[in-house]
Amino acid sequence: MEGMQGMSSFSNGFSSSSNLLEVRNLKKYFPLKGLFFTKGYVKAVDNVTFEIRKGETFGLVGESGCGKTTVGRTILRLIEPTDGQIIYDGRDITKFKKKDMDWFRRKAQIMFQDPYSSLNPRQTVFQIVMEPVNHHGIDVHDPEAFVIDLLEKVGLNEGHLYRYPHEFSGGQRQRIALARILSLKPEFVVLDEPTSALDVSVQANILNTLKDIQGELDLTYLFISHDLAIVKYMSHRLGVMYLGKLVEVGNSDGIFEEPLHPYTKALFSAIPIPDPEIEKRKEKLVVKGEPPSPINPPSGCRFHPRCPFAREICSQKEPELKKVGSDHEVACWLY
Strand-pair partners of 240? 61, 248
- 290 lines the binding site for another protein (CB under 8 A): yes
Strand-pair partners of 57? 221
Q: Which stretch, 12-20, 43-51, 110-118, 202-210, contacts another protein (CB under 8 A)?
A: 202-210
Residue 178 CB burial class (10 angstroms; 0-12, 13-18, ≥19): buried
HSE-CB at 309 with a 13 A cutoff on CA atoms is 13
Q: Kindly state the smallest distance separating residue 97's Cβ from another protein, in Å.
A: 40
- 256 lines the binding site for another protein (CB under 8 A): yes
- 229 lines the binding site for another protein (CB under 8 A): yes
**Nearest to residue 222, comparing CAs of 67, 58, 66?**
58
Main-chain dihedrals φ then ψ at residue 179, nearest 5 degrees? -60, -40
Main-chain dihedrals φ then ψ at residue 244, nearest 5 degrees? 85, 0
- 281 lines the binding site for another protein (CB under 8 A): no
- 267 lines the binding site for another protein (CB under 8 A): yes
Which of residues 52 and 266 has its CB atom nearest to another protein in the complex? 266
Q: Give the one residue of 7, 79, 202, 324 binding another protein; rule: CB under 8 A.
A: 202
Decide: 86 and 93 in contact? Cβ < 8 Å.
yes
In sequence order, which residues have a C-beta less than 8 Å from that of residue 97 and are 6 or more positions away?
A: none
Q: Give the one residue of 287, 314, 321, 330 binding another protein; rule: CB under 8 A.
A: 287
Of 52-71, which residues contact another protein (CB under 8 A)?
63-64
Q: Which stretch, 15-23, 71-79, 109-117, 227-235, contacts another protein (CB under 8 A)?
A: 227-235
In sequence order, which residues have a C-beta less than 8 Å from that of residue 246 and are 6 or more positions away?
A: 48, 49, 50, 239, 240, 321, 331
Q: Give the one residue of 4, 32, 145, 270 binding another protein; rule: CB under 8 A.
A: 270
- 171 lines the binding site for another protein (CB under 8 A): yes
* Binding footprint of another protein on the chain (CB under 8 A): 63-64, 169, 171-172, 199-205, 207-208, 211, 226, 228-230, 232-233, 253, 256, 266-280, 284, 286-288, 290-291
